[in-house]
């Protein structure tokens, strides 16, 4: 087949030569071409130009294409742009012989990713409009377009600001809107305060943006001070407002400290400080003398600039030094405004500004130093006028006081008592004049009887003085009674160790002073049965002490008094114990039915012994037996 094609080409060539060069070429080109070339390739029409694009066998190779399209070859080599992934066959995308108006660059302009393919993102005002690509790409080639702003836009700054327009301009706003969109913080002169509201043209006159002087405020602002105060306006002014708000008063003859730092400038400077120099050698130059001439020294002798109130005065220079509780008091705690006084009566009248209220005038002269001149005498003169006899300025409350009369009454348990525990207020009425409640307490002639402080817990059972039984020397005024001497019942033996409450019980009933609950002390029986239970159930009517003693209630020995019983207490009977004869039985006794030891027993032998003879030998065992 290839051989046939070669023969055909040779025949046609020979025919063309014979028929005439010009007409033959045109007719042969039309005969061989599959269609007209696109307008950009129109110069390549004709059979003589086929070899410029076609290899033998009509094949179109990339080498032929790129030999003419060098910019594309370079982008393919660098792997950038739309051809970065191009293969070796250009004809796969670019088809020729489709007619004069054939499109050699077929692609969807709307779907084209300009940022990913070209590296130049279309943002803001660059977003494609109705013209699409042709809006920027005026010629046929896309690759010769430059991303520099000046390639499309006219540099109105005439390269004075460089070629990087993005320093000031953004695609998000029109170039004419740069005055409102420009970030001045990127410039050498940052805008703050009132400068942020100034129009660009106010400083950039005639469109000059580079080389504008800004090292000194006077580069833009006119010097208002005559004579000049220097080129550094920021010493006094700030960019927030041209009005003076930041004066460095430390550079003046009157540095501001303490409360003066919070005073508004206009308070002192009624006129411009550059025109009028204020006096500041004394406080009275600005402040009214609220003491109306009572003090000749300057205010700073007592007051300081931290705060006008709470002036420090060395009271030790007076006849009344302030110590302890008096030391932290403020002046007005003692020195109060003079009642119904006029300033001129105390001394030089204090100057008062127009429209201002007259300051209160405090009388610092002639105060008395006695306690009652400031403090209310709650004792109402009972203890005299010398309060320091009991009180001190360290603490007004009396911490310790030694009674001058002395004696046992103020010893032991009474030592730790506070004054108010004995000297109590009986009538806490408030004075209508002072509003202070006086102490209705007698100190000078206070009662010393126990009942004046202590309640009679015995409810009148005793008329004798409390100290007869109680003593301040014992804890909680415990009883120290001598039972043998002070009562008719001496505590002997076992009774000596018995607690009082074992015999003296708490009762609720009628007592000499009133009906109530108290320990019964008077009228307690002295017989044994008053406290002890009769275990013999009435068999023995004599006193218990006839057999028992307080040393021990147990009966160690007993001597029978009955002659009949004494006659039996011989032999083995003499060696018998009490329980051998006197057994515990349950039955009826003189005091009632119960269980007790039977003391009344018969003297016959059968009363204790079993009759082995069952009565056969009679009742008198003594006829035959002996104990």
CA gap 320, 316 in Å, rounded: 7
Residue 151 placed within a domain: no
Residue 555 has pLDDT above 50, yes or no: yes
CA gap 417, 410 in Å, rounded: 9
Give the pLDDT band (50/70/90) at residue 348. very low
Number of domains in the chain: 3
Judgement on whether residues 6 and 139 belong to the same structural domain of the protein: yes
Please tell me the least confidently modeled range out of 99-108, 351-360, 394-403, 504-513.
351-360
Residue 136 placed within a domain: yes
pTM beyond 0.75: the answer is no
Q: Where are the alpha helices (DSSP H) in 432-577?
A: 483-486, 500-503, 563-568, 572-575
Judgement on whether residues 7 and 127 belong to the same structural domain of the protein: yes
CB 437 within 8 A of CB 421: no
In the chain, what percentage of residues exceed pLDDT 70? 87
**Average pLDDT value for the chain:** 79
Q: How far is CA 156 from CA 126, 160, 207, 397, in A?
A: 19, 9, 9, 92
Judgement on whether residues 138 and 6 belong to the same structural domain of the protein: yes
User: Which of residues 526, 557, 578 is at a domain's end?
Assistant: 526
Give the pLDDT band (50/70/90) at residue 618. confident
State which residues form the domain around 508.
449-526
Judgement on whether residues 140 and 7 belong to the same structural domain of the protein: yes
Q: How far is CA 124 from CA 109, 128, 151, 152, in A?
A: 18, 10, 18, 16
Judgement on whether residues 493 and 562 belong to the same structural domain of the protein: no
Please tell me the least confidently modeled range out of 514-528, 553-567, 590-604.
553-567
Residue 429 has pLDDT above 60, yes or no: no
Residue 514 placed within a domain: yes
Within 10 angstroms of residue 169's Cβ, the number of other Cβ atoms is: 19
Judgement on whether residues 139 and 6 belong to the same structural domain of the protein: yes
User: Which of residues 526, 556, 578 is at a domain's end?
Assistant: 526
Residue 149 placed within a domain: no
Any long-range contacts for 364-369 (C-beta under 8 Å, 24+ apart)? 364/291, 364/294, 364/295, 364/331, 364/335, 365/294, 367/320, 367/334, 367/335, 369/319, 369/320
Question: What pLDDT was estimated at residue 506?
Answer: 92
CA gap 46, 212 in Å, rounded: 66
Judgement on whether residues 506 and 553 belong to the same structural domain of the protein: no
Tokens (6 digits) for 400: 């310790």
Phi then psi for 479, rounded to 5 degrees? -70, 135
Question: What pLDDT was estimated at residue 428?
Answer: 54
Residue 130 placed within a domain: yes
Please tell me the least confidently modeled range out of 57-66, 335-344, 443-452, 547-556.
335-344
User: Which of residues 479, 503, 526 is at a domain's end?
Assistant: 526
Judgement on whether residues 498 and 605 belong to the same structural domain of the protein: no
**Once rounded to an integer, what is the mean pLDDT over residues 345-364?**
54
Residue 318 placed within a domain: no
Judgement on whether residues 17 and 107 belong to the same structural domain of the protein: yes
Judgement on whether residues 8 and 125 belong to the same structural domain of the protein: yes
HSE at residue 577, side-chain half, CA atoms within 13 A, is 5
Question: What pLDDT was estimated at residue 344?
Answer: 40
Judgement on whether residues 521 and 539 belong to the same structural domain of the protein: no
Residue 443 placed within a domain: no
Judgement on whether residues 87 and 8 belong to the same structural domain of the protein: yes
Nearest to 200 by CA among 180, 222, 173, 221: 180
Residue 540 has pLDDT above 50, yes or no: yes
Please tell me the least confidently modeled range out of 230-234, 489-493, 534-538, 559-563.
230-234
Nearest to 33 by CA among 54, 13, 4, 63: 54
pLDDT, tens only, 95-137: 888 888 888 888 787 788 888 888 888 888 888 766 678 888 8
Residue 31 placed within a domain: yes
């Amino acid at each position: 087949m290839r051989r046939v094609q070669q023969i055909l080409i040779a025949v046609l060539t020979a025919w063309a030569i014979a028929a005439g060069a010009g007409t033959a070429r045109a007719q042969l080109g039309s005969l061989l071409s599959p269609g007209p070339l696109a307008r950009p390739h129109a110069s390549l029409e004709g059979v003589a130009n086929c070899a410029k694009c076609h290899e033998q066998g009509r094949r179109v190779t990339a080498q032929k294409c790129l030999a003419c399209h060098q910019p594309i070859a370079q982008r393919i080599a660098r792997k950038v742009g739309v051809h970065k992934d191009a293969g070796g066959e250009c004809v796969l995308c670019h088809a020729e012989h489709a007619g004069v108006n054939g499109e050699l660059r077929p692609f969807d302009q709307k779907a084209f990713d300009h940022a990913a393919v070209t590296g130049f993102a279309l943002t803001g005002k660059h977003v494609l409009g109705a013209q699409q690509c042709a809006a920027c790409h005026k010629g046929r080639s896309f690759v010769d377009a430059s991303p520099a702003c000046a390639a499309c836009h006219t540099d109105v700054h005439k390269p004075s600001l460089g070629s990087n327009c993005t320093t000031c301009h953004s695609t998000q706003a029109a170039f004419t809107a740069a005055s409102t969109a420009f970030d001045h913080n990127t410039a050498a002169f940052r805008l703050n305060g009132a400068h942020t509201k100034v129009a660009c043209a106010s400083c950039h006159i005639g469109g000059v943006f580079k080389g504008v002087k800004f090292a000194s405020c006077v580069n833009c602002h006119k010097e208002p001070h005559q004579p000049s105060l220097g080129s550094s306006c920021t010493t006094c002014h700030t960019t927030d407002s041209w009005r003076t708000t930041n004066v460095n008063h430390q550079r003046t003859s009157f540095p501001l400290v303490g409360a003066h730092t919070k005073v508004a400038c206009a308070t002192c400077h009624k006129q411009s400080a550059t025109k009028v120099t204020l006096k500041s050698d004394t406080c009275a130059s600005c402040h009214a003398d609220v003491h109306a001439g009572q003090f000749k020294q300057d205010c700073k002798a007592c007051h300081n600039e931290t705060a006008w109130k709470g002036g420090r005065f060395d009271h030790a220079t007076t006849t009344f030094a302030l110590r302890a509780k008096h030391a932290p008091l403020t002046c007005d705690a003692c020195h109060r405004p003079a009642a119904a006084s006029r300033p001129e009566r105390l001394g030089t009248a204090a100057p008062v500004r127009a429209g201002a209220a007259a300051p209160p005038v405090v009388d610092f002269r002639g105060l008395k130093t006695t306690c009652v001149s400031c403090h209310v005498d709650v004792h109402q003169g009972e203890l005299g006028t010398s309060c320091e006899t009991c009180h001190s300025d360290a603490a007004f409350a009396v911490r310790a006081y030694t009674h001058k009369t002395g004696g046992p009454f103020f010893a032991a348990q009474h030592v730790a008592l506070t004054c108010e525990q004995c000297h109590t207020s009986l009538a806490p009425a408030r004075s209508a004049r002072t509003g202070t409640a006086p102490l209705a307490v007698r100190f000078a002639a206070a009662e010393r009887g126990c009942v004046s402080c202590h309640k009679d817990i015995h409810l009148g059972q005793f008329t004798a003085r409390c100290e007869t039984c109680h003593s301040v020397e014992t804890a909680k005024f415990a009883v120290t009674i001598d039972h043998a001497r002070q009562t008719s019942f001496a505590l002997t033996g076992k009774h000596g160790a018995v607690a009082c409450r074992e015999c003296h019980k708490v009762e609720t009933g009628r007592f000499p002073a009133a009906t109530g609950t108290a320990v019964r002390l008077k009228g307690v029986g002295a017989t044994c049965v008053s406290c002890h239970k009769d275990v013999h159930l009435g068999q023995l009517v004599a006193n218990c002490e006839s057999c028992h003693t307080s040393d021990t209630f147990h009966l160690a020995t007993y001597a029978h008094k009955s002659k009949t019983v004494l006659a039996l207490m011989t032999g083995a009977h003499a060696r018998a114990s009490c329980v051998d004869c006197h057994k515990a039985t349950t039955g009826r006794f003189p005091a009632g039915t119960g269980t007790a030891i039977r003391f009344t027993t018969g003297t016959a032998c059968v009363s204790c012994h079993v009759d082995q003879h069952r009565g056969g030998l009679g009742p008198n065992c003594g006829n035959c037996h002996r104990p």
